[in-house]
Amino acid sequence: MEPLRIGILGAARIAGRAIVEPAKLTGARLVAVAARDADRAAAFATEHGVERVHASYQELLDDPEIEAIYNPLANGLHGPWNLRALAAGKHVLTEKPSASNAAEALEVRDAVHSSGLVFMEAFHYAYHPVMRRLQELVAKGELGDLQQVEATMVMPPPADDDPRWSLPLAGGAVMDVGCYALHAQRMFAQYAGGAPKLLNARAGERKRVPGVDEWLNADLEFPSGATGTVRTSMAAEAVEFSLKVVGSRGEAFAPFYVLPQNDDRVIVTTNEDTWVEHLGTRTSYTYQLEAFAGAIRNGAPLLTDADDALATMQLIDECYVAAGMTPRPSSSI
């Protein structure tokens, strides 16, 4: 395929592993980067081999050589700049979640449909063999009938001035890490009669940051009767990003499903035996970029398109409301 020509909005830390390394491995071109701090953008370009620097996000969007945008900005800036990128005729790979709330995600989804452009939400784990194997174990009945999906996404707290604690920038534990756990629940809908419905949610606010969730737990139920549990926190003592799938005849456990390049194990226990499968440490971000390029070049379908992003954002909003909190506000730019 012709190398994808990518522009990067912002010089975020995650961009190094989420787009720079995958671009090198897949042959994509990093055409340009823009950041609010020109010196930071220049340093990023020098460090990562980006071809040029633009003075503003809009100038980058107006660059005719760029065909696709990677958006790793703060959560509250995802929706507005995704909309601007689409209006500029660019395909979009956006960090999760795709918007601040369901109303904004709907606006993005509608813009994608009317534009005919490719839109991908960066739930990269969904493209890695670890997640695909967990789904396969359920699909082939190796675990029996699906009974429960348990997703845990907890981590130590970021610094107090981190934008992930900012309500105006759509911060909170659910928006940063919990969205993975909720999305993972939805990945099993096809094996449980349809999408899971939220039963209840409980949350705790970050001290001195009204409206921003430090932790949230949720219970869900699938149409088949299978249940789901979500536990997410940005105030834990250690990182745990795990996913367990329980069936009537066994269970499968991925201890680090969101970053399988760090731990590629799937531990399977059935009534007859226990074994460990290693699914490979090639990065989930590389699989993701390959899928994005395949959608642009060949029209290949995506697991995490704009419709999927809207459904996840609706579930996030439902969790906030059920826990007595408000969905994140939309940001203006």
Catalytically annotated residues = 96
C-alpha pair distances (Å), 247 with each of 36, 79, 145, 146, 244:
49, 37, 5, 4, 10
| Separation between Cα atoms, residue 101 and residue 105, nearest integer Å | 6
| Separation between Cα atoms, residue 3 and residue 234, nearest integer Å | 38
The two most distant CA atoms of the chain are separated, in Å, by 62
**Start-end of H helices in the chain:** 15, 21-26, 38-48, 57-61, 75-87, 102-115, 129-139, 173, 179-186, 284-298, 306-322
**Which residues does residue 205 pair with via DSSP β-bridges, in sequence order?**
213
Residue type, 149: V
**271 burial type by CB count under 10 A (0-12 exposed, 13-18 middle, 19+ buried):** exposed
Which residue do the tokens 């949720």 mark? Answer: 218
